[in-house]
């Protein structure tokens, strides 16, 4: 029976990888089409391909749960259509044994996705965002297009692009007094982290008083702050692309600064529970093969799987903002959609003929 387990795992794993390639490819193609609208003399088509290429690990990590769901449906569905699963059950294989054999490749994909999201996606996504910002002229513009905001006490910080190695471009510092009036403004084209401070280059400073505004320029200036390259790198990329080992400390930092942090906690718990979510979605896929929907054809099952994936994503998008609005624990918002998947999967399997 070990040979059959390997055969079943190979079918599910092959189908999952094929579906993942299709989903990621379509999403990447859509992103290329969207980026064409931003083409300019500085940001060419080759830059678009580089940007989309660097973002592929993030897309792979994002689509793994849906690929596991549809891949499980396709792999098991093909075996069911060939009566291979019926033969296996006739030979004495229980539903629990088939479920364990199906979950093994799904968990392998889930663990691989977790590792990609933990070690590969954060680096590649930062490279993608930095490449796009620099290509769009972050060095020649103080604010650039997009960028990130941060805060250090009464000073608000905007950076257009963050490169690995502690180099930032398009720096702007805005300092306010206790009455929230702007008192100082600083702009620098480039900054390099020197270990305990930043060395800003091509600096333009503005000091504002009730009577006048004075402006001067210097070639370089030291900037002492608690904002580090690691902290800026966290804010450059989307929360779902950050590693879990950095998300929780980042949430604590934002909380201490009086900034919004619950969305970071939500991203942390979603990434932590992704392997459990993948297993839950595969359980739902199994219920379509062995449960009350087993009499449908493969196309109907795949369509039902797509609907389940969409509903799962909508539930995540619903419970996440709802938890932020009503102050619910982020861990609860992350677990509710996953729990619904598990409950639905077990319920459908319990109703199998």
CB 155 within 8 A of CB 173: yes
HEC per residue, 282-318:
HHHHHHHHHCCCCCCCHHHHHHHHHHHHHHHHHHHHH
Record the tokens describing residue 260, joined without a space.
């919004």
CB 194 within 8 A of CB 206: no
- Predicted pLDDT of residue 109: 93
The model's pLDDT over 204-237, given as tens digits with 9 standing for 90+, comes to 999 998 888 899 999 999 999 989 898 888 888 8
pTM: 0.85
From CA 67, how far away is CA 64, in angstroms rounded?
A: 5
CA distance to 142, 162, 260, per residue, from 131 (Å): 16, 9, 27
HEC per residue, the chain:
CHHHHHHHHHHHHHHHHHHHHHHHHHHHHHHHHHHHCCCCCCCCHHHHHHHHHHCHHHHHHHHHHHHHHHHHHHHHHHHHHCCHHHHHHHCCCCHHHHHHHHHHHHHHHHHHHHHHHHHHHHHHHHHHHHHHHHHCCCCCCCCCCCCEEEEECCEEEEEEEEECCCEEEEEEEEEECCCCCEEEEEEEEEEEECCCCEEEEEEEEEEECCCCEEEEEEEEEEECCCCCHHHHHHHHCCHHHCCHHHHHHHHHHHHHCCCCCHHHHHHHHHHHCHHHHHHHHHHHHHHHHHCCCCCCCHHHHHHHHHHHHHHHHHHHHHHHHHHHHHCCCHHHHHHHHHHHHHHHHHHHHHCCC
Q: Which of 9, 23, 116, 7 is nearest to 72 (CA)?
A: 9
- Predicted pLDDT of residue 345: 86
Domain boundaries, the chain: 2-135+262-350, 148-237
- Predicted pLDDT of residue 1: 64
- 198-208 and 167-176 strand pairing: unpaired
- Predicted pLDDT of residue 232: 87
Q: Which CATH class is domain 148-237?
A: mainly beta
From CA 240, how far away is CA 61, in angstroms rounded?
A: 9
Which residues contact residue 17 at a Cβ distance below 8 angstroms, ignoring those fewer than 6 apart?
67, 71, 109
- Predicted pLDDT of residue 293: 55
**pLDDT under 70: residue ranges of the chain:** 1, 138-146, 291-296, 352-353
């Amino acid at each position: 029976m070990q040979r059959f387990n390997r055969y079943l795992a190979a079918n599910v794993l092959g189908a999952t990888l094929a579906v993942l390639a299709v989903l990621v490819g379509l999403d990447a193609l859509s992103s290329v089409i969207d980026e064409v609208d931003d083409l300019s003399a500085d940001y060419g088509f080759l830059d678009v391909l580089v940007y989309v290429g660097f973002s592929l690990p993030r897309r792979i990590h994002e689509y793994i749960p849906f690929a596991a769901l549809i891949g499980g449906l396709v792999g098991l569905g093909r075996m069911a259509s060939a009566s291979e699963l019926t033969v296996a059950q006739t030979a004495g294989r229980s539903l629990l044994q088939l479920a364990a054999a199906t979950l093994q490749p799904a968990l392998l994909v889930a663990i691989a996705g977790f590792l990609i999201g933990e070690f590969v996606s954060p680096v590649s996504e930062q490279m993608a965002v930095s490449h796009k910002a620099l290509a769009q002229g972050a060095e020649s513009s103080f604010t650039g297009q997009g960028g990130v905001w941060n805060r250090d006490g009464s000073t608000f910080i905007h950076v257009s692009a963050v490169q690995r190695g502690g180099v930032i471009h398009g720096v702007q510092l805005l300092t306010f007094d206790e009455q929230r009036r702007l008192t100082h403004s600083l702009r620098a084209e480039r900054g390099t982290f020197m270990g305990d401070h930043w060395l800003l280059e091509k600096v333009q400073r503005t000091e504002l008083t009730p009577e006048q505004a004075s402006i001067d320029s210097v070639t370089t200036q030291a900037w002492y702050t608690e904002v580090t390259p690691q902290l800026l790198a966290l804010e450059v990329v989307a929360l779902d692309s950050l590693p879990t080992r950095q998300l929780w400390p980042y949430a604590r930092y934002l909380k201490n600064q009086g900034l919004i942090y619950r969305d970071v906690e939500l991203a942390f718990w979603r990434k932590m529970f992704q392997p459990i979510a993948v297993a839950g979605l595969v359980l739902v896929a199994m219920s379509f093969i062995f449960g009350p929907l087993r009499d449908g054809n493969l196309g109907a099952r795949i369509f039902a799987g797509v609907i389940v994936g969409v509903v799962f994503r909508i539930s995540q998008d619903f419970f996440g903002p709802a938890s932020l609005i009503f102050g619910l624990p982020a861990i609860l918002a992350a677990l509710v959609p996953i729990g619904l998947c598990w409950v639905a999967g077990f319920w459908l399997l319990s109703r199998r003929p």
